[in-house]
Amino acid sequence: MSQLLPWAAFSALRAYSLSSRSRTWAALVFALSVVPLGVNLAQFFYGGTGGVNDPIYGCVATSTITINAYARYMLLSWSQTLHC
């Protein structure tokens, strides 16, 4: 997760230099660049992800999301790709 911060800072510096030193654009680019970090942290905070140490397969990812919520998420994400 900490790998996103250097890229966000670099992107913000690029936006700052290319937009004639506009701090507004730099702040906007930085804020949008750290959105994935916030999403990942929210998943860990709310317990959406986890893992189990299986003796045969090793570390296996688990999820506490219900089948109905997953189906709604997939339907929404699929419908968003059709509009683009």
Average pLDDT of 29-37?
Answer: 92
Paired strand residues for 53: 59
Percentage of the chain surpassing pLDDT 90?
36
pLDDT score recorded for residue 48: 64
Find all residues with CB under 8 Å of 57, minimum gap 6, and list them: none
Paired strand residues for 70: none
pLDDT tens per residue, range 43-57: 767 666 667 777 888
Helices (H), the chain: 4-18, 23-33, 35-45, 67-83
pTM above the 0.75 mark?
Answer: no
How far is it between the farthest Cα atoms of the chain?
A: 57
Q: Which two tokens stand for residue 49?
A: 């992800």
Average pLDDT of 20-48?
Answer: 86
Average pLDDT of 68-83?
Answer: 71
Q: Which two tokens stand for residue 17?
A: 């230099």
